[in-house]
């Protein structure tokens, strides 16, 4: 069913808005997926905070014009869906990688982060990037480790003295 001009402008505005705030984008060929599988993919995308759009290629190219995802224009051929991640750079790649494990018909074509175009070979590496919460947790652990070691070092002479006095008292009590 052909889209009217107003519908096309609406889709273009929606995709342009999401793309202007997105961190990463993944283009995948969804040819052969059933409607039920696409519904499941959309449901998983909503859960993970990824915007998943099936858009005509010409509209996607126009929506990406002037954004960091303009480099994806070459990958927009045939029936493709575009996953845009606004929270963490690996979210869209993780979503499509996990979904493709159970559905061989979904084929990732290209990825983009920060205006750089990556091939399918980088899918696993980008999908394994930590989420914001994971990255902050790792940062706090790294920052906390030296402080903990310093506190243990300061407390050790006192603890050693207490253990020594306790051992002497135990020895006198026994003997």
User: pLDDT (tens digit, 9 = 90+) per residue, 71-107?
Assistant: 888 888 888 899 999 888 889 999 999 999 888 888 8
Specify the pairing of strand 80-85 against strand 24-29.
antiparallel
Inter-residue contact 82 to 15 (CB < 8 Å): yes
Q: Which two tokens stand for residue 65?
A: 């014009």
Instruction: Give this prediction's pTM.
Output: 0.73
Q: Could you give the CA distance from residue 4 to residue 8 in angstroms, rounded to a whole number?
A: 6
State the pLDDT confidence band at 1, using cuts at 50, 70 and 90. low
- Segment of 10-14, 36-40, 60-64, 73-77 carrying the highest mean pLDDT: 36-40
| Mean pLDDT (whole number) for 125-152 | 88
- Which stretch of DSSP H or E encloses residue 81? strand 80-85
pLDDT given for residue 42 in this prediction: 92
Dist CA 126 CA 117 (whole Å): 12
Query: What is the mean pLDDT of the segment spanning 131-155?
Result: 88
């Amino acid at each position: 069913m052909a889209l009217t001009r107003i519908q096309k402008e609406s889709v273009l505005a929606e995709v342009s808005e999401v793309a202007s705030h997105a961190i990463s984008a993944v283009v995948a060929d969804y040819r052969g997926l059933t409607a039920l599988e696409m519904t499941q993919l959309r449901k998983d995308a909503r859960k993970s905070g990824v915007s998943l759009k099936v858009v005509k290629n010409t509209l996607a190219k126009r929506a990406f014009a002037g954004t960091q995802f303009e480099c994806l224009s070459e990958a927009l051929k045939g029936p493709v869906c575009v996953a845009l991640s606004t929270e963490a750079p690996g979210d869209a790649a993780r979503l499509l990688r996990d979904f493709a494990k159970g559905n061989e018909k979904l084929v990732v074509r290209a990825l983009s982060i920060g205006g750089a175009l990556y091939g399918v070979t980088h899918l696993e590496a980008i999908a394994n990037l930590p989420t914001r919460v994971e990255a902050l947790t790792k940062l706090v652990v790294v920052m906390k480790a030296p402080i903990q070691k310093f506190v243990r070092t300061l407390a050790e002479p006192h603890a050693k003295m207490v253990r020594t006095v306790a051992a002497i008292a135990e020895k006198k009590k026994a003997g």
